[in-house]
Structure 1
């Protein structure tokens, strides 16, 4: 019989680290990764037949649950007509029309095959549009694996970035300036010194890759004002938060319009997809109309477009996000109650169907605060939850995801498991 351990051993003989994305290797929590055999609704089953309540949601896109019948039907129908054309298809237009209809500033869309590719292309577009080289990003915000974005602060928030991955040239990294999320003064200082060479500020308006962080009042508003004043573009990376915290993403919740938006995850319904969207005057700098080159053989492929259209149509139904938020709120309240009962420094919060849990007494507001978590306690908590059949992201710095498929029974089971786990790690 196949087991998780035997499959992991087998995978390590042919896959780097036994995985195709580093966090899947369970290095942050220890133990053996679960090899998933199938998923449906709010659940995943591993190769040993063990069922888990799924709060990973493929890292965000499964907002209507795994294998939703309408999404599967749409993908199956599209697959019968061909998997990829390398030529225009009508579904590209249909999904783009939906995105443009939801986000008022988005007049043109360019699809990619991943969120990484969308963020990378948005940077190139910003540099091409402004004629500048430098970019501002935030420590702890993750925008995929493009070289310019795999950079973190050196000796301080105002220093030039140093590569945080081998293989990123130092000469390229020097064009990336790193500030601190929720610290507007750190961004103001960068603009004061380098404003004339900054092409853009790229930010997750509601970060999920240093766990769920919520912007302080005035922070995003300040970024908007700085970019406008200095002629830089404000780019919202909504690959994770877009269509997830609200139908119109984090920008709907905060009421701020960026110059460009990067999307992914939900707009592909679980298929590989990404997109850049913005005003025509910026987007039409891209080839074939402009001089910024961007292309991809599988971009806008009919399978991903069909899954995205079906998913967007499901979440556009009246009351969807109200119901999703109410149910996720019940889960979060139960987790916080369990922490108080156990007397553990633990808390949780959510925005829409995106949530975070932290081994801290209060939700963090910055990357520095996230790093103060009790990581050893999280590891023990994580495996107790996994043993109880609750699958959370295997890292203390990742948001978790709620779907419309999670039932009252799933919420109750999760809270009960957390109550036992928190008492055990107290």
Structure 2
């Protein structure tokens, strides 16, 4: 597989862009390779600068549930762009998309558009603190909520250890009110609330963790979070930037039947365009300026081109509910292919899947939290990743990311991927003997 042009572009990029990329995982560092530079995408495939084509399971990290460049979405974007790309003024499209979100997501009564998942999270946390008059925020180890300073923290040891900055440039004082707990650990979160429940403004959680690889929740864990926050007057925030409109039309909260107070959204609601949103109970959301005192603003919030892409994407999903079951079945086939190849070639593997999102972990034990996820064999993952890439399968370049299947993945594409999985695992078997 020729990659001379991509390598040339990467070397050029490293001279003018930190690390040669505009988001760290794109650099392919965890797998020891150089990234292909993508030229275009259509349906289930992406095409790089060297003319190579790949079956894509990154899907722009989740939003491309309909596949790339879906004709109706492209047409909506073109039409919107012809009318101007940005106004910095209210538009009907904002109202339409906001209503669609409120109709779809069970807990959302009002919603504010922003520009990214990170912006949605930081705004939601500010709002929760204002609503409760408290400062402490509880997050969970391995759950990623964007690169906002207040949640960019390591986990501490012990139930009540306060956060330590996970990046230079984040002041220690800035995260001193962030408490990190273990995902899916019911006992620990009960201990935290027993000790500091009156100080907790909010608990923020990915209802399905997607940033330590895919880790499903224990349903009792989600129910416990709902009960504890209600009892202690804290706000429950579901970060559904990945799961919103992906695991079901109403998101993970509809899928599991547990409703938060505030929800953050992104990715799919922009049809792949840069967009985010936060929404929730009316009494909380009415505190947002200009109807209330909690300030948040953005020139490009509710951008008309992004709104058009989001409206058309959600319309297609709403009007064609079989998209979810059909896409889930494709992901289930890949799950089975991973398990059968691992068994055949005696490769330690555990696969987690929720709907059309899945992660193969190179470990024998079940993966239910960050501590079990990081026991995976990252060297085996890198070997598997390289073989899959050489066979034309484009995957997230890290053991701790999530694969996304789209409705555009074809029968031929799924079969090719199944065959590539078998070939990659055979190669792993040969190289470990």
Q: In which range does the TM-score fall when normalised by the shorter chain?
A: over 0.9
Instruction: Look up the SS of the partner of 2:79 in the other structure.
Output: helix
Do residues 258 (structure 1) and 249 (structure 2) align?
no
Of 48-57 and 342-351, more deviation after overlay is shown by 342-351
**Offset of 1:2 from its aligned partner?**
6.1
Contact 1:251 1:257 in 2 (8 A): yes
**Offset of 1:250 from its aligned partner?**
1.0
> How far apart, CA to CA, are the structure 2 residues paired with 1:363 and 1:32?
31
> How far apart, CA to CA, are the structure 2 residues paired with 1:137 and 1:337?
36
Out of 112, 115, 119, which is 1:113 matched to? 115
Contact 1:92 1:300 in 2 (8 A): yes
**Offset of 1:155 from its aligned partner?**
3.1
Query: Aligned residue for 2:270?
Result: 268
List per-residue Cα deviations over 1:30-63 (Å, max 9, x = no partner).
1101100000000001100000000000000100
**Offset of 1:362 from its aligned partner?**
4.3
> How far apart, CA to CA, are the structure 1 residues paired with 2:302 and 2:380?
43
Query: Aligned residue for 2:62?
Result: 60
Instruction: Look up the SS of the partner of 2:76 in the other structure.
Output: helix
List per-residue Cα deviations over 1:321-349 (Å, max 9, x = no partner).
11111222112112211111111012323
**Offset of 1:157 from its aligned partner?**
4.1
Cα RMSD (Å)? 1.1
Query: Aligned residue for 1:400?
Result: 403
Query: Aligned residue for 2:375?
Result: 372
TM-score (norm: length of structure 2):
0.97
Q: How does 1:380-419 map to 2 (within 5 A)?
A: 380-419=383-422
- Alignment length, in residue pairs? 426
TM-score (norm: length of structure 1):
0.98
Contact 1:260 1:277 in 2 (8 A): yes
List per-residue Cα deviations over 1:43-92 (Å, max 9, x = no partner).
00110000000000000010000000000000000000000000000000
Query: Aligned residue for 1:42?
Result: 44
**Offset of 1:270 from its aligned partner?**
0.6
Contact 1:241 1:354 in 2 (8 A): no
> How far apart, CA to CA, are the structure 2 residues paired with 1:299 and 1:60?
21
> How far apart, CA to CA, are the structure 2 residues paired with 1:339 and 1:123?
42
> How far apart, CA to CA, are the structure 1 residues paired with 2:147 and 2:158?
22
Instruction: Look up the SS of the partner of 1:348 in the other structure.
Output: strand
> How far apart, CA to CA, are the structure 2 residues paired with 1:282 and 1:129?
7
List per-residue Cα deviations over 1:238-283 (Å, max 9, x = no partner).
0001111111111111110100000000000110000001011000
> How far apart, CA to CA, are the structure 2 residues paired with 1:142 and 1:104?
23
Q: How does 1:3-402 map to 2 (within 5 A)?
A: 3-316=5-318, 317-402=320-405
Out of 403, 423, 426, which is 2:426 matched to? 423
List per-residue Cα deviations over 1:305-326 (Å, max 9, x = no partner).
0000111111111312111112
Contact 1:338 1:415 in 2 (8 A): no
Contact 1:163 1:169 in 2 (8 A): yes
> How far apart, CA to CA, are the structure 2 residues paired with 1:158 and 1:171?
16
Contact 1:3 1:47 in 2 (8 A): yes
**Gaps spanning 5+ residues in structure 2: where?**
none
Of 123-132 and 165-174, more deviation after overlay is shown by 165-174
> How far apart, CA to CA, are the structure 2 residues paired with 1:2 and 1:32?
11
* Runs of at least 4 residues off by over 3 Å: none
1:298–1:134 Cα change, 3 Å: same
